[in-house]
Amino acid sequence: MTRRPKAEGKPPDLKYRQVKVDALDKSRRGKHYDLVVGILQELKTLSPGSAMEIPLAAVGGIGLANLRSAVHRASTSHGLEIETLADKENFYVWKKKSETN
């Protein structure tokens, strides 16, 4: 089989469009985004010494490990230090006590 000569000076036909990296939105918007944003908004208003109780049955079938990871990832990106706990029915999250308290 013979090769076809390439057209000199002509760029190859590209299958995919090229974009500038600076124009990309680099924030993470995972499939649990809306749920996690709601949790973080309430968490910011939480009084010290209180925890949010989130029923696992109300989170749309998200597994505990995935929920915990998503909340921790989002809280870290928002500069919040949190702690979590879970039992068979609920996921608890609260703001970590600062060292000065």
Give the domain CATH number at 89: 3.30.1370
> Is 75 domain-assigned?
yes
Tell me if residue 9 falls in helix, strand or coil.
Answer: coil
> Is 63 domain-assigned?
yes
pLDDT in the model for residue 5: 60
When comparing pLDDT for 26 and 31, which is higher?
31
pLDDT in the model for residue 7: 56
pLDDT in the model for residue 13: 85
> Is 61 domain-assigned?
yes
> Is 88 domain-assigned?
yes
> Is 24 domain-assigned?
no
> Is 84 domain-assigned?
yes
The Cα–Cα gap between 75 and 66 comes to: 14
Total domain count for the chain? 1
- For residues 28, 29, 32, 38, the Cα torsion angle rounded to the nearest 10 degrees is 100
pTM of structure:
0.69
Quote the domain boundaries for residue 87.
Answer: 44-101
